[in-house]
Each structure stands twice: as structure tokens, then as C-alpha cells.
């Protein structure tokens, strides 16, 4: 819908604007505003990064306890862990921590925190880098708008390397990127609140 509105606006701007055009333009603008408002205010995108593998493809619906993938060490990562972040709106592109710091896209720590529980790995998650961790920032010179997590039993077994969808609402896979120099294999899931 947003794209149709934008196309319509682009068409209108090519013409000499008369009264009827103006009305049409205003209507299209209102629609576009509503669409963007909705996308930004009701939808969130959570990103699961550095995965070893994922059984998912774009368009899949994830339900409570669905498997997102296995934690891994792909992309720019020094040890097997899950990096998870959550931003406002439906996002499918590549974005860095610096992009998030500049609100493009805007972070949502409230929604992100709901993912940090024992249902994620089916065992207690251990946080190795906190949200906005000062040590991370001192070392890597960027603000960590996410969590780095590992399952509690990682030194003994790989039993809990599966990542599960641990929200009560369903999500939808909107992108799967393989970014060798950044977040490696990552799954983007959109959900509405
Ligand atoms: Zn991280």
C-alpha cells in the first residue's frame, strides 16, 4: 500500500496541479501517512545474527517455540554466540549498530527485553555483552544496541544451541541475509504489538 501511494504521489507531481489533483494529492498523503504510522508504531523487527544455520525462508510464520536456527559464529564474530537486536518498523535491509545509534532504524529495548528468557534456548541464557555495554563500547568503539547471548551449558554440550521463538504472538520472516563481514547469517522476523 505504501508503495502504491508513493507511486501515485510521484505521478501527480509530474502534472500541472489543478484543484482535483490537489484533493487527490491530499488523500494520497493522508493514506501514506497512515501506512507509515502503522509500520513504525505497531511493527517491530527482531534480528537473530551470526547463525550457524536456519530452517526458515522469507515468508515463513514463526509460532511459539518454532525454531529460528542454530547459534553460530558466522560473519564478524570471534566466538559462537547469538547477537539479537530489535528495532521499530518492518525492516529488511542491512543496518549496523551505528545506523541504530542514528535512529535509522530506531531501537526498541522494551520489545528486545521480552526475548531474553529461558524459552529462547530452553535453558538459562547468559548475557556476554549487555545492551549499551560500556566494556563493549570501550573495546569496539560502538554502542551495543543489542544483547550477545550464549546458553548456560555451552561449555559442556551443544544441546541448547537451537534458538526458539519465545513470544506468545506469531512473527513473520521478512529477510534472511548472509553478510560475511557483518552479522553473518541473520534472520529478520517482524511482529506486531
Ligand atoms: Zn552483539
Domain ranges of the chain: 2-40, 44-192
pLDDT at 58 over 70: yes
Burial of 102 (0-12, 13-18, 19+ CB in 10 A): exposed
- Cβ-contact 28, 123 below 8 angstroms: no
Mean pLDDT of the chain: 92
pLDDT confidence of residue 129? 97
pLDDT at 154 over 90: yes
pLDDT at 2 over 80: no
In the chain, pLDDT over 90 holds for what percent of residues? Answer: 76
Q: How far apart are CA 184 and CA 89, in angstroms?
A: 22
Residue 16: DSSP 8-state = P
pLDDT confidence of residue 22? 81
137 alpha carbon to ligand 1 midpoint, in Å?
A: 11
40 alpha carbon to ligand 1 midpoint, in Å?
A: 24
Mean pLDDT of 93-98: 94
Amino acid at each position: 500500500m505504501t508503495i502504491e501511494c508513493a507511486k501515485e504521489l510521484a505521478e501527480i507531481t509530474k502534472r500541472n496541479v489543478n484543484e482535483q489533483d490537489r484533493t487527490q494529492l491530499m488523500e494520497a498523503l493522508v493514506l501514506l501517512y497512515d501506512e507509515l504510522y502503522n509500520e513504525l508504531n505497531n511493527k517491530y523487527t527482531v534480528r537473530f545474527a551470526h547463525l550457524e544455520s536456519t530452517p526458515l525462508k522469507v515468508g515463513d510464520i514463526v509460532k511459539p517455540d518454532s525454531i529460528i536456527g542454530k547459534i553460530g559464529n558466522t560473519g564478524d564474530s570471534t566466538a559462537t554466540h547469538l547477537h539479537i537486536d530489535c528495532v521499530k518498523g518492518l525492516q529488511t535491509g542491512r543496518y549496523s549498530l551505528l545506523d541504530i545509534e542514528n535512529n535509522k532504524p530506531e531501537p526498541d529495548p522494551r520489545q528486545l527485553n521480552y526475548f531474553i528468557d529461558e524459552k529462547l534456548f530452553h535453558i538459562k541464557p547468559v548475557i556476554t555483552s549487555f545492551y549499551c555495554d560500556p566494556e563493549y563500547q570501550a573495546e569496539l568503539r560502538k554502542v551495543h544496541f543489542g544483547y550477545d547471548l550464549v546458553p548456560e551449558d555451552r561449555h559442556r554440550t551443544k544441546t541448547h544451541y537451537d534458538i526458539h521463538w519465545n513470544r506468545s504472538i506469531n512473527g513473520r520472516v521478512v529477510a534472511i541475509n548472509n553478510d560475511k563481514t557483518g552479522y553473518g547469517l541473520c534472520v529478520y522476523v517482524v511482529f506486531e504489538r
